[in-house]
Every structure is written in structure tokens, then in C-alpha cells.
Amino acid sequence: MNPVAKTTAGKVEGFQKDGLNVFLGIPFAAPPVGERRWLPPEPLQPWSGVKETGAFGPAAPQIIAPPNSQSPLQTGFKVDTSLGTQPAANEDCLYLNVWTPGLDNARRPVMFWIHGGGFTGGSGSSPMYDGGVFAGRDDVVVVTINYRVNVFGFLRLNEVTGGRIPSSGNEGMLDQLAALKWVRDNISAFGGDPGNVTIFGESAGGGSVGALLGMSAAKGLFHKAISQSGSAHFLNQRDEASQYAEYFLGILGISGSDVDALRALTMEQVLRTYVKTLPAPKGIRGPLPVIDGRIFSELPIDSIKAGSADGIPVMAGTLSDEWRLWQVMDPAIVDLVEGHMFGRFRRMMPSWDMTETVEAYQRVLTGRGVSTTPTEIFLAVMTARMFWIPTTRMLEAQVSRGNPGYCYLLNWKSPLGDGMFGACHAMDLGFLWGAHGTEFFGSGPVADALSSNMQDAWLAFARTGDPSCQGLGKWPVYGDRRETMILGKKCGVEEAPLEEERLIWDSAPDSVFRWG
């Protein structure tokens, strides 16, 4: 007999797999379609009877790469048809998924996963994110979610439409907030504890964790946080978001006053126009969460410094070669010359003179025995600027207020392409979700041990707020000695890894670490 749970909107029926109760495609907000496009999520309309939730709901509208253009991350992944087929994109996309060992009163820790994808794509139904990996390993409830991305979730239209479509540019973040409220109101019916919720995410999901730590409306909806390759530094300013909206409507050829024409656009027309804005012209930043003065009044890092995340244990980390993944998407990096390197830096960090920074990296790389070509310098600078330094600053801000913070650095290198990827962005996903064993991630007993250790640490943190576990031993709090857990072929605690790089950026303002 299939499991049935009662939510505030009505009953849902899932299925059983490997001893777990699985519910896929549970709606957590009204479909953001028609006049709801570009507006905050609205409450669900209750239903009668029992809704079947045996297949994933649609993914948020996004650009789907054709099968012949798979990235290394996708290689070797197959859809588990017993968990429902992977759906096509649709504006009716606000669905979440639950894996639970029991529909009882056990009040299990809840792990709430926020997918990555650069705020442009991704979904909670990716074959990678099988919540049964965690729920089956320990007695926890796992939730994965969708949220609106790209111009459907982060397009500020308030100014350009004269308030006729009052979107803030944070609708995708408000989707996450709505999903957290659903967990608060419903997860006890799935055997979970609404008073012990851990948010965790990678890349844009890690950035979402950082943003939620600084969002006052999210206070009390989660109790622990894990940011993987994310930051709390990246939001757009309101005028930047409005400038992009003007550019977007200009390409559409639609006036901001013609709200009916905007709402009449098909999903495909909106996406095609979005593609035409890529890459945006110099000086125009693409759609991201926005400092709008209401949902976000400042960068999340500044809110964290002021105490927005007090009382919340935070675990955060990065990979040692994050930016090497972008060599696949930006082949020009491989043959970068010095002039082009400095040109890129000027566009990204117009207020920061990179001359001394580049000279410092030449010394650091030489000391490591790494060539000091513009390509190697660029990769090292971008890894630090986008990931390592923002992560350490977020942890510093949190622990300086007496809150527990834990740091990690993953240095496992991909064997693919003769090691060209190193420990690149997203390498942690395969090990965390037990999806390694492919050519990209690597296989064997050492890889299996790393995966087990990571899963146990994440589970321990979700249960107690401390990631110490049997396989890794004691994981100390990040303090004055910058104690960091190294995750790789050899795992263990090091004090102040990459300290010479951190010192290079020590005087840089937080604005230098904005994404872009």
C-alpha cells in the first residue's frame, strides 16, 4: 500500500523504495503563471481527495542543453525511472520532493537541499540529488526543491513597468522562502522535525544559503546551514537590476507600459530573449537576487556581520581549483594572454587595481611549483575571488559573533582529461550524493571512503550542529588558527591552508567579491 501524508492543502500519495517513503512533485505554492508570472509565490488552493505524487514536477523554465553537449558532470548519470522521469521545463514549476524513513512522530532532522546552476538553471529533480542517499543512510528526512531561475525568478520589472508588474527581482528567493514555510507547516506529517531544519546547497545553492542567512524573513525557518562553493557577497544593486530589465525589454521590443504584451509572451519567447542577452553588454549585470530595500537591504555578508544569522551553526567550504571547470565553457581561458587577463579583471573588478595582486600570485604560484602563465594566474585568482575568500569571510563574520562555524577545503582532483580539471567546481557533488565512480569523479576504495566521510559529516552536522564523525574524527570550530578540514585522498585538519592567498586579498573590500 502506498504511503499517504496529509498536508495543509490536502492529502498526497507517494510510493516506497528501498524501505523509504518517497513523495515527488508536491506543490508548495500556486503555479506562477499568467498574471502571477514575475510575482511572489502565492498560497496553494487546497484540493479534495488524494493527489498522486509519484513523479517529479516540471523543472523551472531554463535553457536545456541538447544530449550531445553533455558536460563532464553529466557523463555517466542515468535517470532512475523508479523515481519518475525527469520532467520538461514549465512555468508551473513550484514543486518539492520528500524522502523519509517513516510517517510517524519521530521528529527526524530535516535536510533541505537547494540546487545550483548559477541562478540560471537546475532543478531539485536532477538525477544527482537522490534524497534516498541521506535518508537511507541515517534517520533523516530529505527535501529537494525547485525555484524560479534566470529572468523568470530574478527580473526586476518594478521601475521599467512603472509598478504595473512590481517584481523585485527576488522572486526566486521568495520561492525558496515559500518552500521553507511549507516545511515548517507540513514536515511533521512526514516524520520530520520543523525545529531542526538544515539548509544546504552548492554553487548558486550555496549562494542561496548565504542569502538566506542574511534574509530577515527567513529567520526561524531553518536552524543550521551548509554553504558549498557559495558566498554572501553577490547580489545586484537595484539600479543594476533595473538596467538589465530595460535592456531585456529593449530586445523584446515591448514597452514597459505594455503589461498585457509581457504577460502574453510564451515561455519559449521569454527564454529566447534571455538567450539574446547572453552575454550582457559591458556594464550590464545579468539577473541575480537584488538589494531591493525590502527583502534585502544590503549584501548578506553585511547582514551576517550585524547578527542576522546569530544562533545558527554554519559549515562552509570550497574546492581548491574551482575555476578550472570554466575552461570547458570558456575555452579562451586556455590560451589567455596577459593583456586579455587584465582586461577581464578590469571588467569584473573596476575599482580594484590588480597589478600588485597579479604580482603576488606570481610569487605564490612559483612557490608551489606552478607555472605563472596568464591562464594559471587567472584560474587561481578566480577560484579565490569567487569562492575561497568569500567563504572564509562569511565564516569569520559568523564566528566573530560567537556562533559555531566549520570550514572545509576539498582537494580531490578529477582524473578526467589528464587531470586538467583538478579539484574543480562541483567536484564535491559526486561524493556528497554517492554519484562518484564515473570518469569525472574517480572511483575505488579511497573515493568510496571520501564519499562516506562527507555524507557522515553532513549528517552529523544536520543532527547536532557539529560535523565531527567517526571517519574524519574531531572537526574543530573555525577560529583564530583557521582550522580547516581537508577532504581528499587524505582527510584531516590543517591550520590556515592557502593563507598566503588569503593575505593577498586581506585589504580588498567585500564589493570585490561580487559575482561577475
CA-CA distance, 144 to 125, in Å (whole number)? 7
A 10 A CB-CB count for 260 gives: 9
> Are residues 74 and 122 in contact, defined by beta-carbon separation less than 8 angstroms?
no
Helices (H), 293-439: 300-305, 326-329, 338-348, 355-368, 374-383, 389-399, 427-432
Bridge partners of 15, per DSSP, are: 22
Q: 17: which 3 cell numbers?
A: 523504495
Q: Annotated catalytic, 322?
A: yes
Distance set, CA 455 to CA 109, 192, 241, 462 (Å)? 14, 19, 38, 11
Mode of pairing for the β-strands spanning 20-27 and 50-52: unpaired
Catalytic member of 91, 202, 322, 483: 322
DSSP class per residue in 8-73: SS-EEE-EEETTEEEEEEEE-S----GGGTTS---PPPP-SSEEE-BSPPPBPS-PPPPGGG--TT
Catalytic member of 115, 233, 425, 436: 425
Q: Annotated catalytic, 425?
A: yes
Q: Which helix (H) or strand (E) holds 194?
A: strand 192-202
Cis, peptide link before residue 279, omega less than 30° from 0: yes
Phi, psi (degrees; rounded to nearest 5) at 186? -130, -20
> Are residues 444 and 342 in contact, defined by beta-carbon separation less than 8 angstroms?
no
Edge-first strand listing for the sheet containing 50-52: 4-6, 11-13, 50-52
Distance set, CA 424 to CA 243, 275, 430, 441, 495 (Å)? 33, 26, 12, 10, 22
CA-CA distance, 460 to 492, in Å (whole number)? 17
Catalytic member of 126, 167, 168, 203: 203
Separation of CA 379 from chain center: 21
CA-CA distance, 155 to 316, in Å (whole number)? 28
Identity at 154, one-letter amino acid code: F
Q: Which residues neighbour 242 within 8 Å (Cβ) at sequence distance 6 or greater?
A: 156, 158, 159, 160
What residues act catalytically? Answer: 203, 322, 425
